[in-house]
Amino acid sequence: MSIDLSANPLLVTGAVFIAGVATSLTPCLYPMIPITVSIVGAGDSSVSRWHRVGLVAVYVIGLAAAYAALGLLAGLGGTMFGSVSTNPWLQLVMANVMLAAAAMMADVIPVPIPERLRTRAATAGVGGKVTGVLIMGLVSGLVAAPCGAPVMAAILTWVAATRSAVLGFAYLLAFSVGMCSLLLVAALATDTTLRLPRAGPWMLWVKRAFALILLGVAEYYLVQMGTLLI
Least confident of 10-19, 64-73, 122-131, 174-183: 122-131
Residue 14 belongs to a domain? yes
If pLDDT is split at 50, 70 and 90, which confidence band does 2 have?
very low
2 falls within a domain: no
Within-domain flag for 4? no
Rounded to a whole number of angstroms, the CA Rg of the chain reads 18
Is residue 1 in some structural domain? Answer: no
Residue 46 phi, psi (nearest 5) = -80, -10
The answer to whether position 34 is within a domain reads yes
Domain count, the chain: 1
Q: With respect to residue 172, please indicate whether it lies within any of the assigned structural domains.
A: yes
pTM higher than 0.85, yes or no? no
pLDDT in tens, 175-186: 999 999 988 888
Whether residue 3 is contained in a domain is answered as no
Give domain status of residue 44, yes or no: yes
What range does the domain containing 49 cover? 9-229
Q: What is the DSSP string of 60-102?
A: HHHHHHHHHHHHHHHHHHHTTS--GGG-HHHHHHHHHHHHHHH
pLDDT of amino acid 85: 61
Q: What is the mean pLDDT of the chain?
A: 78
173 pLDDT band, cuts 50/70/90, is very high
Q: How confident is the model at residue 137 (pLDDT cuts 50, 70, 90)?
A: confident
